[in-house]
Amino acid sequence: MRNGNLDMWLHPKGVEEIRTPSRTLTLLERLNIAIDVASVLDYLHVHCHEPIAHCDLKPSNVLLDDDLTAHVSDFGLARLLLKFDQESFLNQLSSTSVRGTIGYAAPEYGMGGEPSIHGDVYSFGVLLLEMFTGKRLTNELFGGNITILSYTKSALPKRVLDIVDRSILHCGLKVGFPIAECLTLVFEVGLRCCEECPANRLATSEAAKELISIKERFFKTKKDS
């Protein structure tokens, strides 16, 4: 894809690519990308002949085309949920290639849980928090009992502007835009996707609807990017 992947845009300083983005993603662009990803997951989970779990959602697996429309890639771990080989899946989870994405995988996978659409929802929630804080899961802020989830949760709602990617605050927003209110709602969607109990997590269709509602509420007079 001409615009590379989402990881390049969120963390340009750590990427040694020729096409490193020369600008940051706006709040609206990030919302649009999040909606695109949620919509793809909803299609995989609900609208395919058999439900499919991607099992490895992360920023580098979200590709952006010329219009910054998001496309989910790398289905190497994806499973038809009614026809998967559990032993094979668990072996892949313990492989070197998957260890690098620890933090995005749902906690139940680390305890031998079977792949599920709920696991994808958890990964999407983590992705959403990373998109709007601008912080990698390996950031020095995180360690021990501090994760991107606890970091975000502890800041809401009063300190939301303390945790947001600072570049969002200076990119494409009109004076007086209620950014704290908007971001609080976005972060709340991410946290609800990351509930400890899989059954308590939002469905991807619900996450998409909530993000679309946020977009329409705060950008109702503004055209999409």
Q: 175-196: per-residue pLDDT in tens? A: 899 999 999 999 999 999 999 9
| Residue 159 resides in a domain | yes
| Residue 225 resides in a domain | no
Domain total for the chain? 1
Confidence of residue 168 (pLDDT cuts 50, 70, 90): very high
| Residue 28 resides in a domain | yes
Q: Return d(Cα 218, Cα 216) in angstroms, integer.
A: 6
| Residue 111 resides in a domain | yes
| Residue 164 resides in a domain | yes
| 56 catalytic per annotation | yes
CATH code where residue 171 lies? 1.10.510.10
pLDDT digit string, tens, across residues 32-66: 999 999 999 999 999 988 888 898 999 999 999 99
DSSP assignments along 152-185, one per residue: HHHHTTTTHHHHS-HHHHTSS--TT--HHHHHHH
| Residue 223 resides in a domain | no
Tokens 């970091």 belong to which residue?
Answer: 151
| Residue 52 resides in a domain | yes
What pLDDT is attached to residue 214?
Answer: 98
pLDDT digit string, tens, across residues 67-106: 999 999 987 666 665 554 555 544 554 443 333 378 899 9
**Domain limits at 55?**
6-218
Confidence of residue 1 (pLDDT cuts 50, 70, 90): confident
The catalytic position among 42, 56, 120, 165 is 56
pTM: 0.86
